[in-house]
Amino acid sequence: MNGDIAIGAVVGIGLIAAMMSVLLRQYRPEFALLTALAATILIFTGMSQWLIPAAQRVRELLEQEPELAGSAAILLKAVGVCFITQLACDLCRDAGENAIAARVETAGKAAILLISLPLFEQVLELVMVLLR
């Protein structure tokens, strides 16, 4: 397991990118934003090699239970939507565009609501069975 070495690389990339970003913000704010985006992408690319087995394991664990068979995909989809929404939202906030960030957040919430509707239906059915 070389996770401890790679987390050092992630911390290093984060600190270097933060320094570059602060340096560039005085002269050209748009390049500060691009530096932040590059750091995000690099860190995510490095992180994906830990994320892939973790997501696979979660999927396997949830599929063992027949009741939860469909929920693993929904859960992971919701996490993915959260992830990219948060990414775009934070970058917009850093660029000073709070309105765009808020709209991206709203769109993410709507997408997650749509993704998790089957689960809501299941809960509702359970409630109906209990009420009867």
Partner 1 sequence: MEVDLIFKIATIGIIVAILNQLLVRSERPEQAMMTTLAGLIVVLMMMVTEISNMFETIKTVFGL
Q: Which residues bind partner 1 (CB under 8 A)?
A: 9-10, 12-13, 16-17, 20, 23-24, 27-28, 30-32, 34-35, 37-39, 41-46, 48, 51-52, 55, 73, 76-77, 79-81, 83-84
Give CA–CA dist 123/117, Å, rounded.
10
* CB 120 to partner 1: min, Å: 20
Please state the closest distance from residue 119 (CB atom) to partner 1, in A: 16
Residue 46 CB, nearest approach to partner 1 (Å)? 4
Give least dist CB 54 to partner 1, A. 9
Annotate 61-125 with DSSP letters as a single string: HHHHSGGGTTHHHHHHHHHHHHHHHHHHHHHHHHTT-HHHHHHHHHHHHHHHHHHTHHHHHHHHH
Q: What angle do CA 36, 48, 63 make, to 5 degrees?
A: 135
What single DSSP character describes residue 52?
H
Residue number with CB closer to partner 1 (20 or 100): 20
In the complex with partner 1, which residue's Cβ is closer, 9 or 110?
A: 9
